[in-house]
Amino acid sequence: MSATPPVATAAHHYPTRVTPFRALLTAALALAVVLGVSGPAYAVTPAQKLAVLQSFTQNSAVSYNDWNAARQNQAAWAEYGFDWSTDLCSSSPDKPLGFDFTLSCHRHDFGYRNHKAVGAFTDASKNRIDSAFYADLKRKCATYAAAVRPACDSLAWTYYQAVSRFGSLASVDSADVEAAAALI
């Protein structure tokens, strides 16, 4: 006895009936593929938005880097409806004595504006955002030469105190900047 499979001797062909509904559905799907249209957009829930917002406003360098990557690719985060606007360091210098605080101020604005927009700007979130701001400033200061780092650290502390006490960098006094300059 052979172990070979049986050979088909004849194929039967039956006519395929195309219904109008099937034809319409096929045409609609083909058009959607050609036009690049997908199904319904994924809607971000308020809880998901808040979770991402909180992850973008932590003290860690990872949180900062994640936020900055999102900032550089805002289109990918469009469904979250984040407010990316900023006035940088408000009426205080963005680069006091040449120390570049712009991105730290931008992330701080992002935290305040978006927490307020979702109704989650509490004392706890304000403190976390302000602490993250200070951590960002200190990390920035760590990139400068040791000889000028005390001046940068002094300004970082001044900027942090302004936002933590008054909620704005507008309260940074020019005398504070001059005092930091004396450390150089």
- Distance, CA of 153 to CA of 165 (rounded, Å): 18
Is 176 one of the catalytic residues? no
Is 13 one of the catalytic residues? no
Closest to 62 in 3D by CA, of 73, 70, 50, 74: 70
Residue of 109, 136, 153, 176 marked catalytic = 109
Closest to 55 in 3D by CA, of 137, 10, 110, 116: 110
Is 87 one of the catalytic residues? yes
Residue of 108, 115, 137, 155 marked catalytic = 108
- Distance, CA of 125 to CA of 119 (rounded, Å): 11
Closest to 71 in 3D by CA, of 29, 37, 20, 105: 105
Closest to 137 in 3D by CA, of 153, 121, 114: 153
Burial code (b: 16+ CB inside 10 Å, e: under 16) for 131-167 equals ebbbbbbbebbeebeeebbebbbbbbbbbbebbeeee
Residue of 29, 31, 83, 87 marked catalytic = 87
Q: Tell me which amino acid residue 102 is.
A: T
Residue of 106, 130, 137, 169 marked catalytic = 130
Task: Give me the active site residues, please.
Answer: 87-88, 108-109, 130
